Chain A
Amino acid sequence: MKFKNIGYPYFLWLGIFILIPLLLVAYFAFTTGDSQNFQTFSFSIENFKRFFTPIYLNVLYKSVNLALISTVICLLIGYPLAYIISKEKPRIRNIMILLVVIPMWMNFLLRTYAWLTLLGKNGILSKALSYIGFNNVQLLYNDTTVLLGMVYNFLPFMILPIFSVLIKMDNRLLEAARDLGANKRMVFTRVVLPLSIPGVITGITMVFIPAVSTFVISSLLGGNKSTLIGNLIEQQFRYTNDWHFGSAMSIILMVFILISIALSSKFDKDKEGKGGGLW
């Protein structure tokens, strides 16, 4: 092909706006000094040392923990639904999958905000609770609310990739399994489930990554009590102005996520990710 060269403007863009910024973050992470004055920088691993102390490690642990729990919940709720939808007649199936997609397209701040209306002091749920005798229950601003927000926001991202793998599954394989004497449960555990793993893995990464790095859900639904690693990074860049420490945490978060992606793609034998993609 003779069109190789027309990609160059974007390749330049990639270099300037994707590669260099990440290198800058790495540079910030391994230096200390006045964030706003580049002359004062000197090499150090102080930022990482600071992170690997109990206070910050606890925050990392909490973020990973909440993200893992919400991923598991999304999988447990999402897989059966994806399976049910894939077995429906085309007409109903299309409507149901549209219903899964609509929340994905809605601004996710609005989706998070919507829970404030439900759970807030004068919200519907606390009103309902006060009718049955529980007065002044604080539903907002704890880790469970943050978990709820994560599951609510990211559930569609679990359902859709699993659905798109299930729907493309060759029905003849299921028929063959039945012909060879497999009962319903065996068909599912021995054929359907293993074949749907690529979709499950895409789903897991699509839930886990935004969940572990969120700062919006925790700051809106978790209040000041719930600090996740995303909140720490936000604070360093927006308020404390310690870009070095913030960069170090960004690098740690990034490495953590790249490792988990590499691990999950190991389970995914089908490297090209047939139908794993979202679009």
Chain B
Amino acid sequence: MVNKNLKRFYAILVFIFLYAPIIVLIIYSFNDSKLRGSWNGFTLKWYYELFKNKEALRALYYTLIIALSSSIISTVLGTFAAIGIHGMRGLNKKVILNLNYLPVLNPDIVTAVALMALFRLAHINFGLFSLLLAHITFSVPYVILSILPKLKQMNVYLAEAAMDLGATPFYSLRKIIIPQILPGIITGALLAFTLSIDDFVISFFTTGHGISNLSIYIYSMARKGINPIINALSTLMFIFMIVLLLIINYRSEKTEKLIEERR
């Protein structure tokens, strides 16, 4: 059918638009020339230089430290908060939910300058610690939003039955509630991790002298112009993201299958 081919053609065009810049970037990370216009042959030298570049490595180190610690803390905080919110009713619940939505809806730059003002007023040094606080703040809402639907699906009476049968609240939380909402918790944790790795705007305003994550590093390099080292870095980050995404995709397919089987 002509119509069908036309539709496919349109889809391919849009995908070319989405992927051409990324692919060009990846190809040029193997180009043995600093000038991007010409292809001077295959090389891995930009990758070598990347791994010799102390600044880039330090940025990678900070990115991972912040992403790991902020995602762990915000997952714990968010899980408890979601369970607490789920048990609330009325106006209180509405207020908390709307407050929780604020960082999601607000432009990043507003959240960023607001946190910057707080840290300055509270005399918190701008650095790794303020960065961590900021990342937790913008991650928790997403963790909560990915756990709340799972809590809605959960059978409310199971936890109550467990407590009637003598389980302490903490025991029933650990043995009944957490296992049931685990998929939501894991999704939330992965989301928090990737949000943290990806963040630029909020980090840019809340970090201190000498502490930069990969995004800030890329920004400061990109402002100076093109640098093949960033191409190499982009390629590695791109591959890392794809692997992470495939894992998440595989996981969600697996849980879907599990749910199907249980039915």
Query: Of A84, A110, A114, which is in contact with the most chain B CB atoms at under 10 Å from its CB?
Result: A110
**In the assembled complex, B161 has its CB within 8 A of some CB on chain A:** no
**In the assembled complex, B205 has its CB within 8 A of some CB on chain A:** yes
Number of residue pairs across A and B with beta carbons under 8 Å?
241
Residues in A lying within 8 Å of B, measured CB to CB? 1-11, 13-14, 16-22, 24-25, 28, 36, 38, 77, 80-81, 84-85, 87, 96, 98-103, 105-118, 120, 122-124, 126-127, 152, 155-156, 209-210, 212-213, 215-216, 219-220, 230, 233-234, 237-238, 243, 246-247, 250, 253-254, 257-258, 261, 277, 279
**In the assembled complex, B211 has its CB within 8 A of some CB on chain A:** no
Q: Which of B44-52, B54-62, B64-72, B191-199 contacts A (4 or more CB under 8 A)?
A: B191-199
Whole-angstrom distance between the alpha carbons of A77 and B11 in the complex? 10
**In the assembled complex, B107 has its CB within 8 A of some CB on chain A:** yes
Q: Is the interface of A mostly helix, strand, loop or mixed?
A: helix
Does the CB pair B36–A247 fall under 8 Å?
Answer: no
Task: Identify A213's interface contact among B108, B159, B218, CB under 8 A.
Answer: B108
Does the CB pair A108–B200 fall under 8 Å?
Answer: yes
Does the CB pair B22–A111 fall under 8 Å?
Answer: yes
Whole-angstrom distance between the alpha carbons of A213 and B214 in the complex? 22
Whole-angstrom distance between the alpha carbons of A238 and B220 in the complex? 14
Does the CB pair B106–A117 fall under 8 Å?
Answer: no
The 7 A-B pairs of least Cβ separation, nearest first, read: A7-B84, A213-B107, A1-B87, A21-B114, A10-B81, A114-B21, A122-B37
* CB of B216 to closest CB in A, whole Å: 9
Residues in B lying within 8 Å of A, measured CB to CB? 7-8, 10-11, 14-15, 17-22, 24-25, 28, 35-37, 77-78, 80-88, 96, 99-100, 102-103, 105-111, 113-118, 120-121, 133, 136-137, 140, 142, 144-146, 156, 159, 163, 169, 173, 177, 187, 191, 194, 197-198, 200-201, 205, 214-215, 218-219, 222-223, 225-226, 230-231, 234, 237-238, 241-242, 244-245, 249
Q: Which chain B residues border A277 with CB–CB below 8 Å? A: 145
Nearest CB in chain A to that of B184: its residue: A279
Question: Given that A17-B133, A99-B18 are contacting pairs, would A233 and B84 also be in contact in the complex, using a CB cutoff of 8 Å?
Answer: no
Does the CB pair B117–A21 fall under 8 Å?
Answer: yes
Whole-angstrom distance between the alpha carbons of A61 and B103 in the complex? 24
Question: Given that A17-B137, A107-B214, A117-B36 are contacting pairs, would A98 and B85 also be in contact in the complex, using a CB cutoff of 8 Å?
Answer: no
Contacts A155-B17, A210-B107, A277-B145 known; 4 new A-B pairs at CB < 8 A = A105-B194, A114-B25, A247-B117, A250-B110
Does the CB pair B222–A220 fall under 8 Å?
Answer: yes
Q: Which chain B residues border A36 with CB–CB below 8 Å? A: 120
Q: Which chain A residues border B230 with CB–CB below 8 Å? A: 110, 113
Query: Of A77, A122, A126, A238, which is in contact with the most chain B CB atoms at under 10 Å from its CB?
Result: A122
Does the CB pair A20–B118 fall under 8 Å?
Answer: yes
Whole-angstrom distance between the alpha carbons of A113 and B36 in the complex? 13
Does the CB pair A216–B201 fall under 8 Å?
Answer: yes
Does the CB pair B222–A113 fall under 8 Å?
Answer: yes
Query: Of B11, B78, B137, B218, which is in contact with the most chain A CB atoms at under 10 Å from its CB?
Result: B11
* CB of B139 to closest CB in A, whole Å: 11
Q: Which chain B residues border A105 with CB–CB below 8 Å? A: 194, 198, 241, 244-245
Task: Identify A111's interface contact among B8, B21, B249, CB under 8 A.
Answer: B21
Whole-angstrom distance between the alpha carbons of A112 and B219 in the complex? 10
Q: Which chain A residues border B118 with CB–CB below 8 Å? A: 16-17, 20-21, 24
Does the CB pair B21–A115 fall under 8 Å?
Answer: yes
Whole-angstrom distance between the alpha carbons of A18 and B10 in the complex? 43
Can you spell out 9 A-B residue pairs with CB atoms less than 8 angstroms apart? A4-B88, A16-B118, A18-B99, A21-B115, A36-B120, A114-B24, A122-B35, A126-B37, A210-B108
Whole-angstrom distance between the alpha carbons of A81 and B100 in the complex? 32
